A and B are shown apart, each in its own frame.
Chain A
Amino acid sequence: MRVTHGMLVDTLLRNLAGNLARMERVYQQITSARRIARPSDDPVGTATVLRLGSAVQEIEQYLANVEQAKTWLDLTDQALTTVGQSLQRARELVVQAANDSLSADDRQAIWQELTALQEQIATTGNYAHAGQYLFAGTLTQTEPFDLSTDPPTYQGNSNPLSRLIDRGVSIEINVTGDTAILPVLQAIKQARDAVAANDPAAIRATLSTIDAAHTQLLAAQASVGARVNRLEAQRDRLLDAHTSTLRLLSEAGDTDMAEAVTRFSKEELTYRAALQAGARAIQPTLLDYLR
């Protein structure tokens, strides 16, 4: 084979350029910590990275929705518990008022406490979270219970508030005031009227109304609890999916540092060797040895 100086120089330049290009590629992978800089580096990998990245975004949004829904339901649960305690106290008072031995004055005192309780329950029904009334249905900007009337009238509607917690899966996050709180207010009003009328028989009769309202309240609370459980299960599932998707994303898109650094060292070694060998190979000609 005939080799000339021009060919040596060409080979050297070509190989140096190749070395540098490979070094640059690995260098970019190391410094950016990403395996893929352009789609053509790995077209299938790029599609995978895009798809998984999108899935992570989707999961994170569902997680945010779940957290928001859970906050709402937790607040609803607290409010309903407060209402339940007030109702419990009201029932005790009504039972006390139904006692034949009580005087009209005693009943008057009970009536006053019942009135306070009724107002307290209505105020609880007007709880708001981040400027949105919990118990007003979709009329979240309208105070659900009008305290200027007796008993307070319900001004919300009975529409559900729904949140997306997964692809195609929604959950209702609200309890409307007309199903859970309005019967309580009405029952207490009925009891108050009977207490005001100083009629033990009528007072006793209202106990069943109070109990019916209480049952409805408990049903609402139970439904809230069930929904919180469902949200917690969903959150766990989403967190699992989040973790595994992130791991897949990292496998598809992140640089394997140990491997990349090893490759870089190898390229560097080749580059240095090529420079050294090249410097020595292209210099001498016959001219150096002629007199």
Chain B
Amino acid sequence: MVFRALETAFRGLMAQQRAVDTANHNIANANTPGFARQRVQLVPSMPYTVPAFNRSGLAGQVGTGVLVASITRVRESVFDLQYRVQSQALGEASAQVDAYAQIEAVFNEPTEAGLGALLDRFWRAWQAVGNQPEDLAARAALVQDATTLATNLNRMRRQLGELQADAATKLSLQVSEVNSIAQRLAALNQQIVAALATGQTPNDLMDQRDLLLDKLASFTGVTIRTLPNGAVNLYLGGYPLVDQDQWFPLAVQVSGGTASIRWQGTNSPVALERGSLQALLDTHNVILPGLVQKLEAIRDALANEVNALHTTGYGLTDPPGPPPGRPFFVVTPSGDLEVEATIVANPQLIAAADAADQPGNNTIARAIAELRSKLVLNGNTATINDFYNTLVAEVGGASQTAQVTRDNQRSLVQAIDRQRQEIMSVSLDEEMANLIKFQQAYSAAARAITAVDEMLDRIVNGMGLVGR
């Protein structure tokens, strides 16, 4: 019976040591992302029933000490699911906010250098020419203002095109990150299944897997299915991204200005859920082309309306007869707006007059200046300035909506994460207290061994010496 006491004390020693180890592990990982604190589940070991033919003369069952039943993660998977659902929307809104921040920078409004102010300067310059059609300085100033306007319109178009290329690059980077996550998840699945098969609980591997799933959620929503063997399978639009220890890579394809995400194996398109990938696709395929189209509508309206009048007019040096039909703006094959080259070289050719040899005639210049208030865009319901102002307001509105969504979504994700952290994060105070608790229990178990040792000493060395 004394030997059993030794075994009981030894079990206590081992269990407390395991508990101290776990507290140590928790402290070491206090700042590890995705780490859930671990707890040693202590259970009393199977009690000993004193054998007897009838009822034992001795009292009940005798305790045999403590066992470590398992080491478990303290984690609520329900919050993980909520966290991932909200992360998807956060990822999408964040990507939109980034895109719109860059778009707003391209528009550079409201400033003195924005296209709106340049349009105003352009119309004013025509009026200045109208006030002094003979004056070469006014004409040269008009050429300057028109060139500045055209250059900036071209710059905006080009920069929006560059943003589109940026979006494609970002898309590639994110897709390769998704691939990398899928690859790591497949590897983790393999390790976890192997560990579980041998009856171990791979807490830290499962934390890593949950962290990867958290990360993946901001890119796109995936359907997660946990298998009985402990592996998780991920599905995108019904097709597996990760199937146990297999994974299927995605690829970005850009053709004809449209980007799409496809399965590398079958080259069929991926049905994405919300997330930053979808936001980037929208930016690349819908938002930016739409803006470019509107800028081109402004460009075409400017060129067509101004030219329609300008071609009927006469420059200072044009001879009598039919009008020379000189355009003011030309749209190059690459889509740039430019002031007609001969006018840049010789501003006298600006057709301010509707008749030849009348230097004071400003009929055309006035008519062009009045285009400012002509409804030429949006089905002849908006002036060029109105159309542009609306465009800026639309960009601002969409950007603001994305920001508000992102901020709300971030609060939501943070609130859920806070709930998760309440449960799973490591409290140093708690671990220190546990450490002391287990350390004391360890010392006590060691003391119990000493006591048993003394008892044995008494039996072995101190007994049977009567009368010696």
Judge: A and B partners, yes or no. Answer: yes
Q: CA of A4 to CA of B426 in the docked complex: distance in angstroms? A: 7
Closest B residue to A9 by beta carbon equals B31
Within 8 A of A (CB), among B388-420: 388-390, 392-397, 399-400, 403, 414, 418
Q: Which of A259-291 contact B (CB under 8 A)?
A: 285-287, 290
- Are B134 and A50 in contact, CB atoms less than 8 angstroms apart? no
- Cβ of A46 within 8 Å of any chain B Cβ, yes or no, is yes
Q: Are the CB atoms of A131 and B130 closer together than 8 Å?
A: no
Residues B369 and A47 in contact, CB atoms below 8 Å apart? no
User: What are 14 A-B residue pairs whose CB atoms fall within 8 Å in the complex?
Assistant: A4-B428, A36-B110, A39-B110, A40-B403, A43-B399, A50-B385, A51-B385, A53-B120, A54-B389, A58-B120, A60-B124, A132-B132, A285-B429, A286-B429
Q: Which residues from A are CB-within-8-Å of B127?
A: 61, 64-65, 164
Nearest CB to that of A133 among chain B residues? B360
Task: Indicate if the CB atoms of B361 and A5 lie closer than 8 Å.
Answer: no
- The answer for the CA separation of A6 and B355 in the assembled complex, in Å, is 81
- CA A58 – CA B120 in complex, angstroms? 7
Contacts A46-B109, A53-B110, A164-B369 hold; do A140 and B393 have CB atoms under 8 A apart? no
A181 to B60 Cα, complex, angstroms: 139
A287 touches B432 (CB 8 A): yes
B366–A138 CB distance below 8 A? no
- In the complex the two chains form, what is the Cα distance from A57 to B381 in whole Å? 22
Q: Does B436 contact A (CB under 8 A)?
A: yes
Q: Which of A79-87, A101-109, A154-162 contacts B (4 or more CB under 8 A)?
A: A154-162
List residues of chain A with CB within 8 A of the CB of B392: 39, 46-47, 50
The chain A residues found within 8 Å of chain B, CB to CB, are: 1-7, 10, 14, 34, 36, 38-44, 46-47, 49-51, 53-54, 57-58, 60-61, 64-65, 68, 130-132, 136-141, 157, 159, 161-164, 167-168, 170, 174, 253, 285-287, 290
Q: Could you tell me if B390 and A159 are in contact, using CB atoms closer than 8 angstroms?
A: no
Check A6–B426 contact: CB distance below 8 A. Answer: yes
A34 to B357, CA, bound (A): 49
Whether B370 sits at the interface, judged by CB under 8 Å, is yes
Once bound together, how far apart are the Cα atoms of A167 and B430, in whole Å? 77
Q: Shortest distance in angstroms between A17's beta carbon and chain B's nearest beta carbon?
A: 11
CB closest residue in chain A, given B433: A286
Partner of A285, one of B128, B130, B432: B432
3 tightest Cβ-Cβ pairs between the two chains A and B: A39-B396, A140-B360, A43-B396
B interface majority secondary structure: helix
Q: How far is the CA of A36 from the CA of B43 in the complex (A)?
A: 65
Contact A138/B361 with A4-B425, A6-B421 known, Cβ cut-off 8 Å: yes
Evaluate contact between B389 and A64: CB separation under 8 angstroms.
no
Which residue of B363, B399, B426 contacts A40 across the interface (Cβ within 8 Å)? Answer: B399
Q: How far is the CA of A36 from the CA of B359 in the complex (A)?
A: 45
- Please determine whether B422 and A1 come into contact, CB atoms closer than 8 angstroms: yes
Contacts of B358 in A (CB 8 A): 137-139, 157, 159
Q: List the A side residues contacting B130 at CB < 8 Å.
A: 65, 163-164
> Is B117 interfacial (CB-CB < 8 Å)?
yes
Is there contact, CB below 8 Å, between B362 and A162? yes
A157: chain B residues at CB < 8 Å are 358
Residues of A within 8 A of B372 (CB): 58
Minimum C-beta distance from B133 to chain A (A): 8
B82 within 8 A of A: no
In the complex with contacts A4-B427, A7-B422, A161-B362, A39-B104 CB distance below 8 A: yes
Assuming the contacts A138-B361, A159-B358, asked whether A51 and B120 have C-beta atoms less than 8 A apart, the reply is: no
Check A161 against B425 for contact (C-beta < 8 Å).
Answer: no
Give CA–CA (A273, B363) in the complex, Å: 68
Q: With A5-B428, A65-B127, A138-B361 given, is the CB distance from A47 to B107 under 8 Å?
A: no
Min C-beta distance of A3 to chain B, whole Å: 7
| Contact present for B395 and A54 (CB under 8 Å) | no
B455 contacts A by Cβ under 8 Å:
no
CA A139 – CA B134 in complex, angstroms? 10
Whether A4 contacts B116 in the complex (CB less than 8 A), given A39-B107, A164-B130, comes out as no
Q: Mark B133-146, 1 if CB is under 8 A from A, else 0.
A: 01100000000000
Q: List the A side residues contacting B131 at CB < 8 Å.
A: 64-65, 68, 163
> Considering the chains assembled together, what is the distance between the CA atoms of A182 and B432 in angstroms?
112
CA distance A32 to B101 in the complex (A): 19
Q: Which residue of A lies closest to B389 (CB)?
A: A50
Find chain B residues with CB under 8 A from A136 CB.
360
- Contact for B120 among A49, A57, A132, A167, CB less than 8 A: A57
Q: Are B109 and A50 in touch, CB under 8 angstroms?
A: yes
Q: Measured between alpha carbons, how far is A158 from B428 in the docked complex, in Å?
A: 98
Given A47-B390, A49-B110: A40 touches B30 (CB 8 Å cut-off):
no
Query: When the two chains form their complex, are residues B134 and A132 in contact, meaning their CB atoms are under 8 A apart?
Result: yes
Looking at the complex, which one of B110, B355, B373, B429 makes contact with A50 (CB distance below 8 Å)? Answer: B110
A229, B128: Cα distance in complex, Å: 23
- Chain A residue nearest to B107 (CB atoms) is A39
User: Is there contact, CB below 8 Å, between A138 and B353?
Assistant: yes
Q: Assuming A5-B429, A43-B394, A50-B388, what are 6 further A-B pairs, CB within 8 angstroms?
A: A38-B109, A43-B393, A65-B130, A139-B360, A167-B373, A286-B428
B329 in contact (CB, < 8 A): no
Tell whether B272 is near chain A: CB-to-CB under 8 Å: no
By a CB distance below 8 angstroms, the chain A residues around B433 are: 286
How far is B116's CA from A1's CA once the two chains are assembled, in angstroms? Answer: 55
Nearest neighbor of B366 in chain A, beta-carbon distance = A164
Q: Which chain B residue lies CB-closest to A10?
A: B421
A46 to B104, CA, bound (A): 12
Question: Does any Cβ of A come within 8 Å of B50's Cβ?
Answer: no
**Does the CB pair B361–A7 fall under 8 Å?**
no
Please report the C-alpha to C-alpha distance between residue A178 and residue B121 in the assembled complex, in whole angstroms.
Answer: 37
Inside 8 A of B353's CB, which chain A residues have their CB?
138
Asked if B83 CB lies within 8 Å of chain A CBs, one says no
Would B432 and A53 count as touching, CB distance under 8 A? no
A19 shortest CB reach to chain B, Å: 15
Cα distance A42–B394 in the bound complex, in angstroms = 11
* A36: chain B residues within 8 A (beta carbon): 110
CB contact between B134 and one of A65, A131, A137 (< 8 Å): that residue: A131
Tell yes or no: B451 within 8 A of A by CB. no
CB–CB B426/A47 < 8 A:
no
The reply to whether the CB of B69 lies closer than 8 angstroms to some CB of chain A is no
| B residues near A14, Cβ cutoff 8 Å | 414
Query: Does B423 count as interface, using CB distance less than 8 angstroms?
Result: yes
* A40 and B393 alpha carbons, distance in the complex (Å): 8
B247 at the interface (CB under 8 A from A): no
Tell me the bound Cα distance from A253 to B114 in angstroms. 15
Q: Which residues of B contact A51 (CB under 8 A)?
A: 385-386, 389
B328: chain A residues at CB < 8 Å are none
Q: How far is the CB of A177 from chain B (nearest CB, A)?
A: 13
B438 interface contact, C-beta 8 A: no
Name the residue in A36, A49, A54 with the highest tally of chain B Cβ atoms < 10 Å from its Cβ.
A54
Note all chain A residues with C-beta closer than 8 A to B104: 38-40
- Which residues from chain B contact A39 at a C-beta distance below 8 Å? 104, 107, 109-110, 392-393, 395-397, 399
